[in-house]
Every structure is written in C-alpha cells, then in structure tokens.
Chain A
Amino acid sequence: MRNVVIHDPTLRDGQHAVRHQLGVAALGRYAAAADAARIPVVEVGHGNGLGASSLQVGLAAVSDEEMLSTVREALRHSRMGVFMLPGWGTSDDLRRALAHGADVIRIGVHATETSLAERHLGVLRDAGAEAHCVLMMSHMASPDELAEHAARAVGYGAQAVGIMDSAGHFLPPDVTARITAIVKAVGTTPVIFHGHNNLGMAVANSVAAADAGALIIDGCARGFGAGAGNTQLEALVPVLERSGFATGIDLYALLDAADLAERELMPAPPVITSMSIVSGLAGVFSGFKHRVVELSAPAGVDPRDVFFELGRRQAIAGQEDLIVDVVAELSARKAIR
C-alpha cells in the first residue's frame, strides 16, 4: 500500500455552492467531525481564498479571521489549510493566517502563470510554513507546460505542487498524462490533484492521479463545491483504499462527517445539472454558474450560450466581471437577428 494524503477543502471550496455563507457554528461542527475522522488537512476560507470576499465573487458571511479561529479551535489532530490567490489576497493575509494557526498554505495561480506565486511562496518559505502551489484551470495547458510550471513553483519554494481541474473538464487519460509529466518534472516533491465532477469523472480522475503518482488528493464531503461539485470525499477515500492506497482515515467517522455536512452545510448535495455539464464541456470554472444564470434570464439569452462564449474567450476564475459583457453581447446579437 502506498500512502496518499487527503486534503479536504469542504469548508473552502464548498463555500462556492452557498455563496460563501457558511456560518461559524457549521464551520466548527464540520471541522470537529473531519478531525474525528483523522482527515489530515482541513481547509477553510472564502471560496476564492483569503482576502477574496467581494462583490465580484461574493461577500462571505464570516470574516477570514473568524473562520480561521473557529476551525483552529475545532481541530485536535488535523492540520488547518488555507488558500490564497495572488492579486486577491496579499502577504498580509498570509501572515494573519499563519498567526491564526494555519499549517498548510496553498497559493493558487492560473496553470501557466506560476510567476504570480513567486513572491508569496517566498514569503511562506521565509516564514517556515508548508507552502503548496496549485495550478488552476489546468485543462487549458498541455502536460509539458504544466510540468514546466510545476517545476518553477518548486523553484520558488513550493513544498507540494499540483493541478486543479477547475472546470471539471478532464477524463482519466488527461489526468494520467498530466500527473505523469508533473511527477517526472518535480521528482520527490509531492504532487496534488483536485478534481471537479462536472462530467461525473472526479473520483475516477482522482484514482488516475494517484495511480500516476499524485501523493495529495483533494475531496469534499458530499462533493460540496461549485456547480456539480468537487470529488466526493466519502466515496474517494474507500475507492482509493480498494485501489491500494492508504489514507489513514476512519471510514465510519468519515461517513458521519459527510452526513453532518449534508445536514449542516448545504441545502442539498451538488448534482450534475445540465448547466454543470455545459460548463464542464465549455471548460469554464463552475463558480461562474450563479451569475451566468442570474444575468442570462432577464436578458433573454440562453445561459448555455453564455458558457460556451465564456469558454471561447478563455475566461479564467476571477473574471466573473466578463459575464456582464458576454450577456450584453449575446443579447445585442439576438436583437439584430
């Protein structure tokens, strides 16, 4: 059996599904349940990470500092993770998170923009924190490009590096090719895979990643996440175990944590809706869904067209402001016809 480390961003990435409205009580209870299941890392924050609460992507119900102190308080065994996007959060946010007891800090950058993480990976290295670098929207880059950028991130000080399938676009062979290339490029540095379930492939993609040598796999309780959700944690863990990977997680406690998550974190577990399939096919970040739907209907345009147009424009996470333009343009085009 090879060990893999399960990284649980339920309380961070799941926030996208509830417009960043998780309250203090829910955060504390899920963190305690995850801790009881011995999940190695519990990540918390606004869905877009430290400092990201905004009109652009949604205002959080709870401040970063309150989220972090709540989860820190609830964790006995698990380590606490946070996430940050350069240009959204800053080094001050990182220092505050460290002061609040964050153990694992992930810097997210678009797949081919690793140099945006250089400064912050340096700050974390100097602070002696465990720094990860994750390449988002990785379907937009080739295996070779991802390998090159992963190696660069390690050069900047990342102690683990990997990819997010932010749009839920990958099929297992895509993941195998990318993780294989990255593992080859970064040697002994642990490689991360973070799946989304738009096309129903998240668990299969995660197993493909582990088979190809990924050592850190992300999963969320009930798949809690934007759109069709992330890799479903309580399915991922036993599937990995049956595939020959040791996670160190207690199955019953994990299932209990997932049940608690369904009761306390979400109105309903994510499902693969027609819109999620379209965003996965279009290669657009699932987090765009709410705003696409909200703006399309009054303008009389088909939200599916909006997704495909956003995909054509290669919109990346954080560019939610483009939706207004695309809806206006499609609406104008329709008026001409």
Chain B
Amino acid sequence: MSLTSEMDNARSHVAEPMTVAVIGTGAIGQDLVSKIDRSPVLDCRLVAGRNPESAGLRHAERLGYPTTAAGIEAVLAAERPFDVVFDATNAASHRDHWRLLEPLGTLVIDLTPSKVGQMVVPTVTGVWAATGRNVNLVSCGGQASVPIVRALAVRFPVTYLEVVSTVASAVAGRATRLNLDEYVATTGHALTAFSRVSDVKAILNISPAVPPATFRTAVQARVSGVDVAAVRAVVDPAAEQVRSFAPGYEITACTVVDDRVTIALHVMAHSDVLPPYAGNLDIINSAAIMVAEQHAARLDRVSWAKVAR
C-alpha cells in the first residue's frame, strides 16, 4: 500500500503552503517542529508553549520559527486560522483546546492520549481525516502495536491481547508522565477498536537504563492452534508496511508457547534530530506529519516549489 499515492497524483503547481501551528514544546513538540521543518508541504507559522524558558521554544527559534509562551491563546489570536494545529500538550488540555479550535475549521492533529478524535494508525486506517476535523494518534504504544494486533486478529481467533511498551526515561516528558492513566485507557481502547477483541490490557514502562533503552513493544495474544511460521506470515508483512514511514520498526522476537503468542518489536528513530532510542517519538510524529501532508494534498495545497528541492 502506498500511503502517499494521493499526494503523488496531485497536480503539479505552486500553491499557497499549508499553514501549521504546534502547541506544546516538550519532547513530542520539539521533534514535530523538526519534522515539519523537513516537510516539503507544511509551513510552520507558530510554535506555542507555556513556559518562556522552555528548551522547546529555543529549539523552534533556532530553526527560525515564530514562537510564543502564550499557549492556545496565541494560536486563537492568529489573524487567519491555521490550516492544521498539532496538539502536543496533554490529554486534559487537549479537551479544552479542541473546544476552542473546533469552531475555526482547523484540522486538529492530537498527539495526546485524549481519546477525543478519530483514531489514525497509518497502515490500518489510512492517513486522512475521514470524519470530522480532529485526528487522534492514540499513543506511541498504540502506533507500534495496532498494526500487529490488527494483522493477528484478522487472521486468527484471538481471545485476549496485551501490549507492554517501554519508553526510555530521557524521552518521556512531563505530559507523558502525568498522562499514564490516559495512555492505558486510550491504548486499550484502540486495541479493542482495531481487533474487535474485548479483553485487552495496555501497560507502559518507563526505563531509566543508561545508555537509554530503544523504544520497544511486546504484543502478547492468546490464540489456540497456531505456530511461529503462521504468525510470522501475517506479522512480517504488517511490519514491512509500517517501515514505509517508520523505517526503524522491526520485529525482534516471535514465540509461541501453548496458546500464548509473543511478538516483541522495537522502533529505532531514523531522524537527524532524535537519538536512535526515541522510536516512540519518531513513529507517532511521522504518522502525524503524514496526516497533515495528506490533508494538504486533498486541499490541493501542495507547494511543489518546495517539493522540488
């Protein structure tokens, strides 16, 4: 599946670029700004934080983008609404932000585990906002596990699913730490939504290991009557698809003991600004950028002058 086929087919012309703003200047926000910087079709017009001293605002300034410490208010005060607003704050703030942004007609791409918008996991749902204007990226563990979980559930009679993700402490920001409850609830919700398995469990570990541990996810499923070869036959192609936008996504172990299937995978960040272990940021942010770029293509707002670089 080519996730960018629609973009590839877009008419070649120079149009007004897609204006975007980022709210939140933590680990996720910073990497998003870097990815927007490298996107041929997204034009970052504002990076909004709360703390004027934050490293995230300094980072955005260094890249030459306008910044503010006035948060959502500054986003709302813009002369023209942004085409896309990325929300990289926290689940509770997102609910407030959405209430304020919804009337503006902006596409809101939510990186918090708020469970508010339409859930997008690129290789499973595609990357367009099919309904409404709020897209939710679930969670890093959701992005890593749902493609595998979906592949298993489509092919086998899965009765229970469990997903344990481990994130390096260095790339688990304050919002992530305060949103563990929402992480657990939203990831579990996505597991059920995309597998139709009602008995699910999501767990998140934060690893303090030095050197930092690469982002990893273990999917465990109860399925009777399968062997490793049968499992590999469905999960390997699923992983291959994810690699189309997250090249560091790799299955590291696949075992079957009785009715217990375990698939361990890790995601290395392939990015010039992220350390390799920060695959949690890379996979969710890469997915978010694809949603925004697809939106630009649909609105015919791809600036091919920038693409041609």
Residue ranges of A at the interface with B (Cβ–Cβ < 8 Å): 54-56, 86-88, 90-92, 110-113, 115-116, 118-119, 140, 313-316, 318-319, 321, 324-325, 328
**Does the CB pair B208–A319 fall under 8 Å?**
no
Query: What's the least CB distance linking A56 to chain B, in Å?
Result: 5
Q: Does B7 contact A (CB under 8 A)?
A: no
Q: Return the chain A residue nearest B266 by Cβ.
A: A325
**Does the CB pair B218–A321 fall under 8 Å?**
yes
B166, B180, B210, B264: residue with the most chain A Cβ atoms closer than 10 Å: B180
The interface stretch among B95-103, B252-260, B288-296, B300-308 is B252-260
**Does the CB pair B264–A119 fall under 8 Å?**
no
- A selection of 28 A-B contacts at a CB cut-off of 8 Å is A54-B201, A54-B203, A55-B220, A55-B222, A55-B260, A56-B203, A87-B184, A87-B203, A87-B204, A88-B203, A90-B180, A92-B181, A110-B208, A111-B208, A116-B177, A116-B180, A119-B178, A119-B181, A313-B213, A316-B208, A318-B164, A318-B205, A319-B207, A321-B166, A321-B216, A321-B262, A324-B264, A325-B252
Query: What's the least CB distance linking A62 to chain B, in Å?
Result: 17
Contact of A325 among B162, B185, B264 (CB under 8 A): B264
**Does the CB pair A118–B178 fall under 8 Å?**
yes
* A318 CA / B264 CA spacing, docked (Å): 15
**Does the CB pair B205–A319 fall under 8 Å?**
yes
* A46 CA / B16 CA spacing, docked (Å): 58
* A97 CA / B154 CA spacing, docked (Å): 37
Contact of A113 among B166, B174, B208, B252 (CB under 8 A): B208
Interface residues of B in 143-175 (CB under 8 A from A): 160, 162, 164, 166, 169, 174
**Does the CB pair B208–A140 fall under 8 Å?**
yes
* A42 CA / B132 CA spacing, docked (Å): 51
Query: What's the least CB distance linking A47 to chain B, in Å?
Result: 14
**Does the CB pair A324–B253 fall under 8 Å?**
yes
* Interface class of chain B by DSSP: strand
* A192 CA / B264 CA spacing, docked (Å): 36
Closest A-B pairs by Cβ, 3 of them: A321-B218, A314-B209, A87-B204
* A324 CA / B218 CA spacing, docked (Å): 10
Given contacts A54-B203, A56-B220, 4 further A-B contacts (CB under 8 A): A88-B203, A314-B207, A324-B264, A328-B252
Q: Does B206 contact A (CB under 8 A)?
A: yes
**Does the CB pair A113–B206 fall under 8 Å?**
yes
Residue ranges of B at the interface with A (Cβ–Cβ < 8 Å): 160, 162, 164, 166, 169, 174, 177-178, 180-181, 183-185, 201, 203-210, 213, 216, 218, 220, 222, 252-253, 255, 260, 262, 264
**Does the CB pair B264–A90 fall under 8 Å?**
no
Instruction: Given A314-B208, A316-B209, answer yes or no on A321-B180 (Cβ-Cβ < 8 Å).
Output: no
Q: Return the chain A residue nearest B219 by Cβ.
A: A321
Query: What's the least CB distance linking B192 to chain A, in Å?
Result: 16
* A87 CA / B207 CA spacing, docked (Å): 12
A contact residues around B164 at 8 Å (CB)? 54, 56, 318, 321
* A88 CA / B183 CA spacing, docked (Å): 10
Q: Return the chain A residue nearest B217 by Cβ.
A: A321
Query: What's the least CB distance linking A10 to chain B, in Å?
Result: 25
B contact residues around A118 at 8 Å (CB)? 177-178
Instruction: Given A115-B174, A115-B177, A321-B218, answer yes or no on A314-B210 (Cβ-Cβ < 8 Å).
Output: yes
Contact of B207 among A86, A90, A316 (CB under 8 A): A316
**Does the CB pair A90–B185 fall under 8 Å?**
yes
* A87 CA / B140 CA spacing, docked (Å): 14
Query: What's the least CB distance linking A214 to chain B, in Å?
Result: 24
A contact residues around B206 at 8 Å (CB)? 87, 110, 113, 116
Query: What's the least CB distance linking A312 to chain B, in Å?
Result: 10
B contact residues around A113 at 8 Å (CB)? 169, 206, 208
* A63 CA / B125 CA spacing, docked (Å): 35
* A173 CA / B133 CA spacing, docked (Å): 60
A contact residues around B178 at 8 Å (CB)? 118-119
A contact residues around B252 at 8 Å (CB)? 325, 328
A contact residues around B160 at 8 Å (CB)? 55
* A337 CA / B253 CA spacing, docked (Å): 21
Q: Return the chain A residue nearest B255 by Cβ.
A: A324
**Does the CB pair B208–A112 fall under 8 Å?**
yes
**Does the CB pair B183–A87 fall under 8 Å?**
yes
B contact residues around A88 at 8 Å (CB)? 203
* A101 CA / B79 CA spacing, docked (Å): 55
**Does the CB pair A325–B174 fall under 8 Å?**
no
A contact residues around B201 at 8 Å (CB)? 54
Query: What's the least CB distance linking B214 to chain A, in Å?
Result: 11
A contact residues around B183 at 8 Å (CB)? 87
**Does the CB pair B181–A324 fall under 8 Å?**
no
Query: What's the least CB distance linking A129 to chain B, in Å?
Result: 17
Query: What's the least CB distance linking A173 to chain B, in Å?
Result: 24
A contact residues around B180 at 8 Å (CB)? 86-87, 90, 116, 119
B contact residues around A87 at 8 Å (CB)? 180, 183-184, 203-206
Query: What's the least CB distance linking A139 to chain B, in Å?
Result: 13
**Does the CB pair B177–A56 fall under 8 Å?**
no
**Does the CB pair A328–B208 fall under 8 Å?**
no
**Does the CB pair A325–B253 fall under 8 Å?**
yes
Query: What's the least CB distance linking A287 to chain B, in Å?
Result: 14
